[in-house]
Amino acid sequence: MKDYKLLLAGLILLLLVIFIAIFTWLWSSNRKNIDPLPIMANANEPSATTQDEVNTLTDSTLYIKAEENLQAPLDDIIVSFESRYPHVQVLASYVPANDLLTLSDNNSSHNKRTELVTNVDMIIANDSLSADRLTPLQTELKSAQDKINQDKANIRNTDAVETDNAEARTLNSFSYALRDKQTLEGVILTENTAAINFRNFLLSSTGQDILEKYDYYNIEGYKNSVDDLFNPTSRAQKTLNTNTVNVADALSNGE
């Protein structure tokens, strides 16, 4: 009987030691995970940058040309967009309508982009941009790209080697708002991913709410109730037919 008690006590002691060891290991591992990252003592030392941050910073500037009467709503939208995308800086220039659809831009802030096809990533109009209106711009864009391809070929001096020539972006306008029953559109000119993000932000509920403050009608009836969207009443159906633009079509264009 005495041996049985000693054996039981030893077993309990062994289990207690194992439990303490497991608890200590778990506590130590968890502490490593919650410890703050080390802070460099010297501000001049290079900080570590993840690959995701590098990719985010690649296209850190977005150049927009817009009609001058859009400055108030677009400035408001740009502030909100930059708070959502802190690594993207938006530089907008506002011009008269007759200067909108052209690649020529003497803005000194664009000088560092002279090696690109165009100094503008996106154009935003205060009216519709039909295919006929975009044709001269498309021609100008193609000519600029052809010149760049030729310059690259001359620099490489590869007469016998075929080079991969880049093609100018095909211009397709996208709708972003309605005003006075007219569809307002923009167009993306470059492959800058920030332009796609800004276009999507314009079409988001946040962008549409800002535009509404300046008397631009929402596209796709963002203010309608869910029931009206899926089971439109005669009033809601009439509103959708006359005062909305299809979001899917807007998103599919301009890419």
- List pLDDT tens digits, range 190-238: 989 999 999 999 999 899 999 999 999 876 554 444 444 455 544 445 4
Kindly list the structural domains of the chain, giving each domain's residue range(s) and its CATH number in brackets, ordered by start.
57-220+247-252 (3.40.190.10)
Alpha-carbon gap, residue 94 to 21, rounded angstroms:
69
Give 102-148 as a DSSP string: ------GGGGGGTTSS-S-SEEE-SS---HHHHHHHHHHHHHHHHHH
More confident residue, 249 or 27: 27
What is the average pLDDT score of the chain?
Answer: 75
Whether the model clears a pTM of 0.85, i.e. scores above it, the answer is: no
3-state secondary structure at position 229: helix
How does pLDDT run across 137-146, given as a tens digit for each residue? 999 988 888 8
CB-based contacts of 105, cutoff 8 Å, min separation 6: 65, 93, 119, 120
Alpha-carbon gap, residue 145 to 133, rounded angstroms:
20
Closest CA to 220 of 196, 198, 194, 249: 249
Q: How far is CA 202 from CA 16, 184, 198, 245, in A?
A: 63, 12, 6, 13
CB 111 within 8 A of CB 117: no
Give the confidence band of 34 by pLDDT, cuts at 50, 70, 90.
very low
Task: Tell me which DSSP letter residue 161 carries.
Answer: S
How does pLDDT run across 20-32, given as a tens digit for each residue? 988 887 776 665 4
pLDDT of 108 higher than 50: no
Question: In this prediction, what percent of the chain has a pLDDT beyond 70?
Answer: 63
Q: How far is CA 147 from CA 19, 87, 153, 190, in A?
A: 75, 32, 10, 16
For 119, the token pair is 């100094």
Neighbours of 57 (CB within 10 A): 11
pLDDT of 6 higher than 50: yes
Cα-only R_g, the chain? 29
Task: Tell me which DSSP letter residue 36 carries.
Answer: P
Give the confidence band of 43 by pLDDT, cuts at 50, 70, 90.
very low
pLDDT given at position 247: 56
- Triad 91, 93, 96: Cα angle to 5°: 165
pLDDT given at position 227: 44
How far is CA 96 from its chain centroid?
Answer: 26
